[in-house]
Amino acid sequence: MEIGSAPGCEGCPGKDYCKNSTQEDKADMEKLDLRMKVIQHKILVMSGKGGVGKSTVSSLLALGLAEMGFKVGILDVDICGPSIPKLLNCENGSIVNKPWGWVPVTGTNNILVMSIAFITGTKETPVIWRGPRKTNMIVRFLKDTYWGKLDYLVIDTPPGTSDEHLSAVKSLSSSSSFYSLMVTTPQDLSISTVLRQINFCSKLKLPLLGIIHNMDGYACPCCGEICEIFEHGMCDKELEKLNVKSLGKIPIDPQICLNGDNGTSIFKDHPNSPLTTSFKQILQQITTLVKS
């Protein structure tokens, strides 16, 4: 991919910055590529709108893969609103700088975690950064973090298609087994943004594993029955026309809120809940797709 000249670069305020890459930038990319070579699969989790449960899905993906015996890391590139440390019970962690790189914090299920939250200090400290500084931070996370050998690196992103997404995709464009995964909710307001996300991935030649429909129905805590609470927008047939796979539907489960607040694994605490059952089926599809 031509740096700063890809179709997705048009209109980006950092376009000229990317095009005028220095020798130092190239050295950084070489170092980054070496880090990524020992990570088998990289999955960028995206959503068109906020509030669809993307970070929850990212944490479930990491937790579920770890439960399956894979070695997993998760990078939180939501610079202004990091939530992965809370979801994986490592909010009080801090980055240790060793000669071989930044040592990630260990979260639930021995998942390796890297986030801006480990740098800012207190939870109340806002991150007021412009695009170039965010870009530099994401590149540093990727090139300086000593992940070691991983089976999966999950990358949690903010909503939309902004600097964070472009930085991550640009940095990992030469990596093998690099995919995107979309999260949406059933209603039209959220589904309508999916087309923009699909086009974003298409323009940047980023393979899309599929779409997860989150909050699709409510799982009754008494009987487990799934009750529909949202109107459904884009159906599976329409996604098929776009050659996009629907990976599955996750119901609203009150238990996931408790697990998220406590940073514990719903796969361990409630292995047979409707949400857990649905997500295990999604995990089977994802692990199959990345091998094909």
In angstroms, the CA 105 to CA 91 distance is 9
Q: How many helices (H) and strands (E) would you count in the chain?
A: 13, 12
Contact 55/74 with Cβ under 8 angstroms? no
For the chain, the domains span: 14-289
Q: Please state which CATH number belongs to domain 14-289.
A: 3.40.50.300
- Residue 120: per-residue pLDDT: 83
Q: How high is the pLDDT of residue 9?
A: 76
Average pLDDT by stretches of 10, the chain with 292 residues: 66 67 70 94 92 95 98 96 96 91 97 94 81 92 96 96 90 92 84 82 94 86 75 66 88 91 96 93 98 84
Residues 183 and 45: beta-carbon distance below 8 Å:
yes
